[in-house]
Amino acid sequence: MNAVASPKLVMQAKGLVKRYGSVTALDGADFELREGEILAVIGDNGAGKSSLIKALSGATIPDEGEILLDGRPTKFSGPIEARRAGIETVYQDLAVAPAMTIAENLFLGRELRRPGWRGKMLRMLDKRRMLEESVARLNELKVGIRSMTQPLETLSGGQRQCVAVARAAAFASHVVILDEPTAALGVKEGGMVLELIRRVRDRGLAVVLISHNMPHVFEVADRIHVARLGKRGAVLNPKVVSMSDTVAVMTGALKPESLPPEALAH
Amino acid sequence: MNKSALPEAASGAPVAKTKGHMPAGLSVAVLGPVIALLVACIFFTTQSDRFLTGGNLSLIVQQVAVVGVIAIGQTLVILTAGIDLSCGMVMALASMVMTKLASESGVPPALAVLIGIGVAAGFGLVNGLLVTKVRLPSFIVTLGTLNIAFAATQLYSNSQTITDLPPLLTGLGETFHVGGTAVAWGTVLMLALYGLAWFLLRETASGRHVYAVGNNPEATRLVGIATQRVLLGVYVIAGALYGVAALLSVARTGVGDPNAGQTENLDAITAVVLGGTSLFGGRGVVLGSLVGALVVGVFRNGLTLMGVSSIYQVLVTGVLVILAVTADQLSRKATR
Q: Which residues in chain B have Cβ-Cβ distances shorter than 8 Å to A104? A: 23, 208
- Please tell me the distance from the alpha carbon of residue A142 to that of residue A144, in angstroms, as a whole number: 6
Burial class (CB in 10 A: 0-12, 13-18, 19+), A20: exposed
Q: Which residues in chain B have Cβ-Cβ distances shorter than 8 Å to A165? A: none
- Please tell me the distance from the alpha carbon of residue B267 to that of residue B87, in angstroms, as a whole number: 10
Nearest to B219 among A96, A131, A195 (CB): A96
Q: Which amino acid is residue B44, in one-letter code?
A: F
Q: What is the pLDDT of residues A39-65, one digit of tens each?
A: 999 998 888 888 999 899 888 899 999
What pLDDT sits at residue B181? 79
A43 in a structural domain: yes
Across all residues in chain B, what is the average pLDDT? 88
Chain B's closest residue to A122, CA to CA, is B204
Closest CA to A205 of A157, A168, A179: A168
When pLDDT is cut at 50, 70 and 90, the band that residue A5 belongs to is: low
- Please tell me the distance from the alpha carbon of residue A26 to that of residue A52, in angstroms, as a whole number: 7
- Please tell me the distance from the alpha carbon of residue B202 to that of residue B133, in angstroms, as a whole number: 27
Nearest to A97 among B1, B7, B212 (CB): B212
The 8-class DSSP code of residue B261 comes to T
Q: Dihedrals φ, ψ of A206, to 5°?
A: -90, 135
What pLDDT sits at residue B320? 87
Q: Inspect the interface and report whether the beta carbons of B223 and A104 lie closer than 8 Å.
A: no
Q: What is the mean pLDDT of residues B80-92?
A: 97
What pLDDT sits at residue A110? 87
B3 in a structural domain: no
Ramachandran region, residue B176 (left: φ > 0; alpha: ψ -120 to 50; beta: rest): beta
A117 in a structural domain: no
B11 in a structural domain: no
Residues of chain B contacting A, Cβ within 8 Å:
1-2, 4-11, 14-25, 199, 203-206, 208-209, 211-212, 215-216, 218-220, 222-225, 282-283, 335
Q: Dihedrals φ, ψ of B179, to 5°?
A: 55, 40
> For residue B131, is pLDDT > 90?
yes
Helices first, then strands: H and E counts in chain B? 13, 2
A140 vs B45, more confident = B45
Nearest to A99 among B5, B219, B283 (CB): B283
What pLDDT sits at residue A143? 84
CATH of the domain at A71: 3.40.50.300
B336 in a structural domain: no
A256 in a structural domain: yes
> For residue B9, is pLDDT > 80?
no
At B192 the three-state DSSP class reads helix
Q: Dihedrals φ, ψ of A177, to 5°?
A: -105, 125
- Please tell me the distance from the alpha carbon of residue A20 to that of residue A63, in angstroms, as a whole number: 10
Chain A's closest residue to B14, CA to CA, is A139
Number of structural domains found in chain A: 1
Closest chain A C-alpha to B306 CA, distance in angstroms: 41
> For residue B143, is pLDDT > 80?
yes
- Please tell me the distance from the alpha carbon of residue A168 to that of residue A180, in angstroms, as a whole number: 14
> For residue A2, is pLDDT > 80?
no
Helices first, then strands: H and E counts in chain A? 9, 10
Q: Inspect the interface and report whether the beta carbons of B24 and A154 lie closer than 8 Å.
A: yes
What pLDDT sits at residue B336? 52
The 8-class DSSP code of residue A242 comes to -
What pLDDT sits at residue B29? 61
The 8-class DSSP code of residue A99 comes to T
Number of other residues whose CB lies within 10 A of the CB of residue B189:
18
B330 in a structural domain: no
Q: Which residues in chain A have Cβ-Cβ distances shorter than 8 Å to B15? A: 144-146
CA atoms within 13 A on the CB side of B163: 0
> For residue B6, is pLDDT > 50?
no
Closest CA to B296 of B58, B36, B82, B95: B36
Q: What is the mean pLDDT of residues B5-23?
A: 38
What pLDDT sits at residue A77? 87
Q: What is the mean pLDDT of residues A174-197?
A: 90
A249 in a structural domain: yes
Q: What is the mean pLDDT of residues B10-37?
A: 54
Q: Which amino acid is residue A255, in one-letter code?
A: K
B23 in a structural domain: no
A257 in a structural domain: yes
Nearest to B10 among A80, A132, A144 (CB): A144
A14 - beta bridge partners? A66
CA B122 from chain center: how many Å? 18
Range of the domain at B220: 54-298+312-321
- Please tell me the distance from the alpha carbon of residue B176 to that of residue A43, in angstroms, as a whole number: 74
Task: Write the ipTM.
Answer: 0.81
Closest CA to A97 of B219, B333, B210: B219
Across all residues in chain A, what is the average pLDDT? 89
A198 in a structural domain: no
Classify each residue of B256-272 as buried b or exposed e, where b means 16 or more C-beta atoms within 10 Å of its C-beta.
Answer: bbbebbebbbbbbbbbb
Kindly state the percentage of chain A with pLDDT values over 90: 51
B116 in a structural domain: yes
Angle at B21 between CA A127 and CA B210, to 5 degrees: 65
A85 in a structural domain: yes
Residues 6+ away with beta carbon under 8 Å from A150: A101, A102, B23, B24
Q: What is the pLDDT of residues B262-306, one digit of tens each?
A: 989 999 999 999 998 999 999 999 999 999 999 999 999 999 999
B132 vs B222, more confident = B132
> For residue B22, is pLDDT > 70?
no
When pLDDT is cut at 50, 70 and 90, the band that residue B30 belongs to is: low
B306 in a structural domain: no
What pLDDT sits at residue B135? 94
Q: Inspect the interface and report whether the beta carbons of A100 and B7 lie closer than 8 Å.
A: no
Number of structural domains found in chain B: 1
When pLDDT is cut at 50, 70 and 90, the band that residue A202 belongs to is: very high
> For residue B21, is pLDDT > 60?
no
A226 in a structural domain: yes
Q: What is the pLDDT of residues A11-30, one digit of tens each?
A: 999 999 999 988 999 999 99
B333 in a structural domain: no
Least confident among A182-186, A234-238, B96-100, B155-159: A182-186
Closest chain A C-alpha to B8 CA, distance in angstroms: 7
Number of other residues whose CB lies within 10 A of the CB of residue B150:
21
Nearest to A192 among B7, B17, B206 (CB): B7
Q: Which amino acid is residue B39, in one-letter code?
A: V
CATH of the domain at B88: 1.10.3470
Q: Inspect the interface and report whether the beta carbons of A97 and B25 lie closer than 8 Å.
A: no
Mutate to test the interface with A, among B6, B210, B213, B280 (most CBs of A within 10 A): B6
Which residue pairs, CB below 8 angstroms and at least 24 apart, start in B206-212?
Answer: B206/A123, B206/B230, B206/B233, B208/A100, B208/A104, B208/A108, B208/A111, B208/A125, B209/A109, B210/B76, B210/B79, B210/B80, B210/B234, B211/A97, B211/A99, B211/A100, B211/B79, B211/B282, B211/B283, B212/A96, B212/A97, B212/A100, B212/A108, B212/B282
Give the DSSP H or E segment for B65: helix B54-79
What pLDDT sits at residue A3? 45
What pLDDT sits at residue A263? 83
Ramachandran region, residue B159 (left: φ > 0; alpha: ψ -120 to 50; beta: rest): left
Q: Pairing state of beta strands A223-228 and A64-69? A: unpaired
Range of the domain at A231: 9-99+212-263
- Please tell me the distance from the alpha carbon of residue A207 to that of residue A200, in angstroms, as a whole number: 8
What pLDDT sits at residue B334? 67
Residues 93-152 of A with CB under 8 A from B: 93, 95-101, 104, 108-111, 113, 122-125, 127-128, 131-132, 135, 138-139, 142-151
When pLDDT is cut at 50, 70 and 90, the band that residue B210 belongs to is: very high
CB A110 within 8 A of CB B209: no
Least confident among A114-118, A134-138, A180-184, B177-181: B177-181
What pLDDT sits at residue A262? 83
